[in-house]
Amino acid sequence: MEIKRINKIILLLVVLFFYGCKEQNENQNPAPVIQDTQTKKSHFELQKKVSNNGNVFQYADMIFEIKSKEELYDILINNDEFFTEIILDSPDLNIWYYKYNEDRIILLEGNDYYGSSFYAYHLINNNLFYLGDFTIQQLNIENEKPYKKEFEINIEKDKVIIQALLNGKPSIKNAYKDHVNQIRKKDLSINPQIVGNLAVKWLGKYHTTLTNDKKSTDSRDTDTVELIIKKDSVVFHVDRYWGEYNYLLRASEVENGIKLTFDKVLDGDVTDVLQKTNDFGRLFFDGKNYYWQCPYLDMYYNNNNKKYVLNKMK
């Protein structure tokens, strides 16, 4: 009887020993955590165009202009010119504008028949960084509908991730190192000559078209004339068939208007008219339209005390 009792005690101790080991192993090896592998959605939202006039793309908070300079193209963003200097052989140009908080992603698309080339940029705090480029081809376009293109964009640490979707399916994915290639911006605020602070209502780009030959139907005889007003500078810009020029103007706010005079040449030609007058007149608003009375324009385009109606882009 004593031997049986001892055997039972030994058996009980063995059972307790193995049970304790099992519990310890379970504590050391917890069940694996199942990770969510679902594809991340884009933090950046595609913005809707308000208008599109040629190479000018207007949004609620941004105006983009793709500007041709010989064989190269630069980008103007809210009147700030960035020297992107890219080559675009495509006949159709487009802007994809994405926004997330203070970050802006801009995809410049050159579209031809068999595909599109994209140039990606990151705009933050009015600084523009080139990310890189990629191509989406559709070589069998004759036998299928054009792709429906979408992009999911995220920023992860020091990289911008751009995932292309074609007809809703993931396609090309690129990861670009950020804040490396900063694009140089044209400096138009050299010794700005602004007396006092101009009211916010005057800031923006004003433009019209003028010609020296009113009988001509040739578009090459028509100039685009712009007045670009910022908080620290006013620039007179003329874009002609054979070239362009920019003058920095002095500005002071007067009753219901702005008085303008010539200050210096930023680039381009010095016209003969400048030797006769430096008076760039007065910009004013009548409650409905913006008008510009400008002796310089009168002399250059052979007009007589004309009020030029200007279109304003904020």
pLDDT in tens, 105-154: 999 999 888 899 999 999 998 899 999 999 999 989 889 999 999 999 99
When mean pLDDT is compared across 184-193, 239-248, 302-311, the lowest value belongs to 184-193
Domain with CATH 2.40.128 in the chain: 194-313
Give percent of the chain above pLDDT 90: 44
Dihedral (Cα; 180, 183, 184, 187), 10-degree rounding: -120
Q: Which of 310, 304, 151, 158 is nearest to 228 (CA)?
A: 310
Fold classified for 194-313: Lipocalin (2.40.128)
Q: What average pLDDT score do residues 50-71 get?
A: 89
Please give the Cα distance from 271 to 244 (Å, whole number): 11
Q: What are phi and psi of 59, to 5 degrees?
A: -120, 180
Question: What is the helix (H) or strand (E) element at residue 6, kind and residue range?
Answer: helix 2-28
Which structure tokens are listed for 282?
A: 């007065």
Q: Which of 255, 258, 256 is nearest to 234 (CA)?
A: 258
pLDDT at 39 over 50: no
Q: In the prediction, which pLDDT does 255 show?
A: 78
Please give the Cα distance from 243 to 70 (Å, whole number): 10
Residues 6+ apart with CB under 8 A from 103: 44, 122, 123, 124, 155
Q: In the prediction, which pLDDT does 25 show?
A: 41
Q: In the prediction, which pLDDT does 242 show?
A: 74
Residue-wise pLDDT for 193-227, tens only, equals 555 567 788 889 999 998 877 777 777 888 899 99
